[in-house]
Structure 1
Amino acid sequence: MVKSLKAPVVIVVIMAVVLIASFILPTLRGSKVTAPDFSLPVLDGGEVNLAGLKGQVVVLNFWATWCPYCVAEMEELDAAAARLAPRGVKVLAVNIMQRETEDSIRRFLGEKRHNYMVLLDAGSRVAGSYGVGGIPTTFIIDRQGQIRRVKQGPLAPGELDNLVKDLL
């Protein structure tokens, strides 16, 4: 009987740690961790290197087309990218490319022009280097390349503005 309870207890403990971390991580306003550098292809062509964006506040949002929470936040992410761009904020929507292709991402996004840049993380290599365990997950990186905030779950209207306001 004890062996049969071992796995469920471990699962409950892991879930509790993840839940607690999801509340604590977004509030770590004073901590600084250097953001892992990366270079990723842009859906529309070219490549983005994080080091090349030093001097700007970078919003790094990990997402997928099959994630309902990601889809729900896309309109807000686009609107926030438009509002914040004049203030030196660069929004990067990093598709983790699990179960999808460049063509399926293009079809999902449609012909509409977006205010954020869509990056392709084939094999979720960059997501792994950031420790992304679920999507959507958003990292706020300051002008010196330090991770200042982590938001797990979808962004609420206006939330991104609040997450970056003291970094502008």
Structure 2
Amino acid sequence: MKKNSIAILILLLVVGWGLYDYSQSNKGQSATTTQPQQTDGIEIGIKKGNRAPNFKLLNLEGEEVELSDFIGKKVILNFWATWCPPCRAEMPHMEKIYSKNSDEVVVLAVNVTSSEKSSGDVQKFVEDFKLTFPVVMDTDGNVSGKYLVYAYPTSLMIDSQGIIREVYLGAMNEDMMKKGISNMN
């Protein structure tokens, strides 16, 4: 009985240390994330009503894309992976929404490349699904870590001012996306 108690205590300490270490390492990872000036009193964060944290990632062509590039448009910020069945199921819906509304809505698809077998899988996926919206690669997992993404897909509906209006865990269909877009300015 004593051995089990000691083992459980050690396990709890290791898990606690791991969580602490993870949170501390994410604090110092600002090389790929940048914060806009907070001038309007809206807190920067990942909850509904927060200003979405800004970040820069490379797209498939190697060009920098920054979330703040899309201020003035509604954004569906989607975290996904090629091996994720629900991600695969929602991509045709994302493409349909983007192709019909690209003048006012951007789908910014953040591939969590750190979870992929190879970055070539991402290019093949984009070609297979004929995706035309921006796809960026989170190669080290810093951005998905900053947004506390623990389920794939995760999507945030961000209004034209950069404010998070809704957070969805799991696949969305076209109707859900339309409803989310209609609730944003």
Is 1:85 the counterpart of 2:141 in the alignment?
no
Give the counterpart of 1:41 among 58, 69, 79. 58
Q: Which structure 2 residues correspond to residues 138-149 of structure 1 after superposition, within 5 A?
A: 138-149=155-166
Note closer, same or farther for the CA distance 1:123–1:105 as it changes in structure 2 (3 Å cut).
same
Counterpart in the other structure of 1:122:
139
TM-score, with structure 1 as normaliser:
0.76
Counterpart in the other structure of 1:10:
none
TM-score, with structure 2 as normaliser:
0.70
2:105 partner amino acid: V
- C-alpha contact 1:39 1:47 (8 A) present in aligned 2: yes
Which one has the largest radius of gyration?
A: 2
Aligned-residue Cα RMSD (Å) equals 2.3
Residue by residue over 1:55-104, the C-alpha shift from the partner in whole angstroms, topping out at 9 and shown as x without a partner, is: 11111000000101101111111111112213x11111110011333211
Gaps of 5+ in 1: 7-30
Question: Using the alignment, how far apart are the partners of 2:61 and 2:164 within structure 1?
Answer: 26
Q: Which runs of 4+ in 1 moved over 3 A?
A: none
- C-alpha contact 2:82 2:116 (8 A) present in aligned 1: no
Question: Using the alignment, how far apart are the partners of 1:94 and 1:127 within structure 2?
Answer: 8
Alpha-carbon shift at residue 111 of structure 1 (Å) = 5.9
Alpha-carbon shift at residue 35 of structure 1 (Å) = 0.3
Q: Which has the higher helix share?
A: 1
Give the counterpart of 2:148 among 101, 107, 131. 131
Tell me the SS of whatever aligns to 2:140: helix
Alpha-carbon shift at residue 45 of structure 1 (Å) = 3.4
